[in-house]
Structure 1
């Protein structure tokens, strides 16, 4: 009992890669009425300090469908409490009257010129969880130093203010505004900027299945397909409507692959549909499956989809740009644990490629900087099926990604090509990029720290490994300490991230492998990719080599049996 009380009351939620996220329940490290009120009070104090016109600009609040309707922790109730704190202080609040995709909040922040915004969601996490995702005035998730400063302000405002509990203010205050109709309308209009074959879309014979995983996506994906000229995708009836229990899946995460897409695939076979698109519960991520000629389904990885999106967005830009358009002004981005395929395409085609730290908060902020400096950003992604097509939303967006992949599939159909066949052509042109991602569960933080500290003091103090089994290591980058052996001064170009563990090894054989801790779960993740040159076309050999490097990595660096790590396949 004492341990449970300490766990609940002696620590506070902190901002991770996805904002504040935890189980719903009692205690300062859980998502509940009090912690949401405290977080919003801290937000108010910080925003008041940052923006002299905060009361003119206002604040955006959105929410998903999590939590039982009768539960005090439902996303809708927590959104109302968030709004109440600000309304009580005279701040206008743009509170969506209905659940929305997460991308609608950052989109609304920019469109409405609000000071900031919050989305109440835990995305694809288990049903017991919820979260509090913060967006800054630029439409990107908050990064340092805002996160640290907001936490300081939260600590100074732990006592609820008068009016903070009064969710009735949402219905009675003249400062409450509902942006749903306006934002939905202009979002769908903006989508058309990345629609390049509307006439073709209206004629295609391809059928598409869509599952919204019991979340918010159904209505909005239907509207997006209409904006592109498509017939509506066929919804999976059992998963179309919101269900906070996620009753048809063990895990509401489409990234888990064929096992959680079973209802979609069976419906596709029944309807003779070749392509399935799946948005996660808050519709900011996208999974795609395609029926192959052998009758089997291929569920694309995030890295494979990024190769397709990157090729498509550049091809479309090239076909629709004026002769004066400068390819050197064009950018694509990816997180550092994602595939390097965009880098390979950029090197050959002449545009710029940049890496960021893991998490779309880093991508969004960097994209805004590039846009402010007159650059053109076509596409950005993270390997965990998060895609940003265009720059209307400075965050990952499953709604826009779903309709872009549908247009791509329809175009390829006119060339008698499938998505999988086009992916092979991309790899043959730019070099095979074969990747594998998985993770080990570890519930003891000291063990995780010990694993990474050993890598920093491998053969002697402050020395990193020079090889892993039979495989020589060319470079080591450790963003936790800011070290990068590939740089002249040994300093990482990426920002130092002291609060998370992440070390990347570049091998002499072309493999790149990263070990990092999860920002939201008790995991040590590994990301490994074999980056081959176009002339290295023996895919089987490359796959076998990658597997051998991964085995050596696990055996020599993670030592699962010694450290009590529990392996989970992805």
Structure 2
């Protein structure tokens, strides 16, 4: 590092940028990220410096998430310390018993050599900030699936928890996912209030960098064994045919996409009575570079499931289950009679889960059970298949805003009012069977899919054939979802401005190719035309989310 770099406010000539650079150079104790800023300063790359240092991350549908690297808008040691300091200030305000109840911290297996921003290190720094303020911390001693953190928050009666993960994002990213005492992800106003507290607590406190506290503080506990045992015990609540599972001849292949899922899916299958699923050896162990896939997202379909499908063919396994790197999402593929693989969409799997969970409830319900107290939920951008099933079967269906944080919060409210939630989902392969976790859970969903397949096998049915039966009974629901990647905020803004002023000011598109648009729901602005348009034979619904 260059010790002769000038000090603020004489760095760039831009007062705002000079202040930000000066703060970074004073506060960052990670030599790699500090050197990144020094190199940019030395080379006069003021625009890059401004982009990195003059804005801050905000909470999205899955917490704080960004690329790993130097800068206040990136995930790194300093921004995680700042975020945790803000968390502490807000929790101190909200909970008088914060220092009795404690805080949960978990992490996945992401990492970046160039910035030393591994999930494990960021988790330790998160713990250190809280330990330095006398807060008990339940820090998992090894990587865990994301669902373990919200589960632990509830089981240990902690005030909140953080999972360091970027889920299925590209390898360069990481994130900071926050759960409230309910076990659900934070929603408004908590997210906005935490951001305010972060802004008020940006300078690191004296002991915030003290990782040694993780090894020396008596306030740190490892909940791994206890939580894993409790989770697997609770998993039995959604296992309905264990004797059948013990006898099935079906084989399953599981890929964990270089993430955390292998050990936990193996345990879940054991709880359900299955033989261990066959792991994809190249993808079984954690690898932060995701070296065998272009994108670590099983939602991408057959192109990223190549290794697991070929292994399944070799092992004569008909069903493949794939958990994403933090094991909160699940993809499923099934070999068809013509030798081709069907990779189910999230909406298709939801139709199967909805049928299965309700069918199992009917088989096992008590005599005084009331179907009107039964609920299923989905996000507003997901298929309405559950609504159709609910209408025919007599239970309740609700939809929420996009993001499982809204589903988790609503489930908590329903449960507090004596309602029973069987299943919830979002179309991006996020599923929740039962309610012992209030977030999407790929580990439990994998075991449930295996049981469903084993049950259908005894009826000489495949998952695909049962999906057709579901559609025949409740109506066909067809969805086609895709996306474009854009990392330039001005371009994104222009795209949405055009959509919102398509034919004339404040007028949205009326057609999508050959289809009339039935509804437009612009979630960012709150616009919803669903009460204005009448249904026609060739219509579609459009959602705009910025």
- For residues 104-149 of structure 1, the C-alpha deviation after alignment (integer angstroms, 9 at most, x for no partner) is 0000000000000000001111111111000000000111110010
- For residues 2-51 of structure 1, the C-alpha deviation after alignment (integer angstroms, 9 at most, x for no partner) is 11001100000111111111111000011100000000000000000000
Unaligned runs of 5+ in 1: 491-504, 519-570
- For residues 76-110 of structure 1, the C-alpha deviation after alignment (integer angstroms, 9 at most, x for no partner) is 01000000000000000000001000000000000
- For residues 371-414 of structure 1, the C-alpha deviation after alignment (integer angstroms, 9 at most, x for no partner) is 11111000000011000000011000000000000000000000
Measure the CA separation in 2 of the matches of 1:175 and 1:271.
48
Match in the other structure for 2:65: 21
Measure the CA separation in 2 of the matches of 1:391 and 1:506.
37
CA-based RMSD: 1.6
Q: 1:387–1:401: 8 Å Cα contact kept in structure 2?
A: yes
1:209 to 243, 253, 270: 253
Partner SS, residue 163 of structure 1: coil
Match in the other structure for 1:292: 336
Offset of 1:460 from its aligned partner? 4.0
Match in the other structure for 1:546: none
Distance change in 2, residues 1:451/1:108 (3 Å): same
1:221 to 261, 265, 269: 265
Q: 1:201–1:230: 8 Å Cα contact kept in structure 2?
A: yes
Distance change in 2, residues 1:311/1:264 (3 Å): same
Measure the CA separation in 2 of the matches of 1:253 and 1:332.
26
How many residues are aligned here? 502
Q: 1:253–1:260: 8 Å Cα contact kept in structure 2?
A: yes
1:86 to 130, 133, 137: 130
Q: 1:286–1:385: 8 Å Cα contact kept in structure 2?
A: yes
Q: 1:268–1:274: 8 Å Cα contact kept in structure 2?
A: yes
Q: 2:502–2:509: 8 Å Cα contact kept in structure 1?
A: yes
2:383 to 336, 339, 351: 339
Residue 352 (str. 1) matches residue 396 (str. 2): yes
- For residues 498-545 of structure 1, the C-alpha deviation after alignment (integer angstroms, 9 at most, x for no partner) is xxxxxxx98523644334346xxxxxxxxxxxxxxxxxxxxxxxxxxx
Partner SS, residue 209 of structure 1: strand
Match in the other structure for 1:3: 47
Offset of 1:467 from its aligned partner? 4.7
Match in the other structure for 1:554: none
Match in the other structure for 1:527: none
Measure the CA separation in 1 of the matches of 2:337 and 2:263.
31
Distance change in 2, residues 1:316/1:140 (3 Å): same
Distance change in 2, residues 1:475/1:44 (3 Å): same
Measure the CA separation in 2 of the matches of 1:475 and 1:246.
39
TM-score (norm 1): 0.86
Distance change in 2, residues 1:349/1:480 (3 Å): same
Match in the other structure for 1:185: 229
Offset of 1:455 from its aligned partner? 3.7
Q: 2:104–2:153: 8 Å Cα contact kept in structure 1?
A: yes
Distance change in 2, residues 1:78/1:422 (3 Å): same
Match in the other structure for 1:513: 541
Distance change in 2, residues 1:436/1:472 (3 Å): closer
Match in the other structure for 2:30: none
Partner SS, residue 21 of structure 1: strand
Q: 2:109–2:286: 8 Å Cα contact kept in structure 1?
A: yes
Offset of 1:283 from its aligned partner? 0.3
Q: How does 1:455-534 map to 2 (within 5 A)?
A: 455-468=499-512, 471-487=515-531, 508-509=536-537, 511-517=539-545
Distance change in 2, residues 1:478/1:158 (3 Å): same
Partner SS, residue 368 of structure 2: coil
Distance change in 2, residues 1:464/1:129 (3 Å): closer
Match in the other structure for 1:53: 97
Match in the other structure for 1:435: 479
Measure the CA separation in 2 of the matches of 1:455 and 1:124.
28
Partner SS, residue 432 of structure 2: strand
Measure the CA separation in 2 of the matches of 1:251 and 1:38.
30
Match in the other structure for 1:264: 308
Partner SS, residue 405 of structure 2: helix
2:323 to 263, 266, 279: 279
Residue 62 (str. 1) matches residue 110 (str. 2): no
More strand by share: 1
Q: 1:88–1:169: 8 Å Cα contact kept in structure 2?
A: yes
Measure the CA separation in 1 of the matches of 2:220 and 2:517.
57
Partner SS, residue 478 of structure 2: strand
Q: 1:476–1:506: 8 Å Cα contact kept in structure 2?
A: no
2:468 to 399, 407, 424: 424
Measure the CA separation in 2 of the matches of 1:241 and 1:444.
34
Q: 1:473–1:507: 8 Å Cα contact kept in structure 2?
A: no
Measure the CA separation in 2 of the matches of 1:315 and 1:331.
13
1:127 to 171, 174, 184: 171
Q: 1:97–1:180: 8 Å Cα contact kept in structure 2?
A: yes
Match in the other structure for 1:12: 56
Moved more, 119-128 or 36-45: 119-128
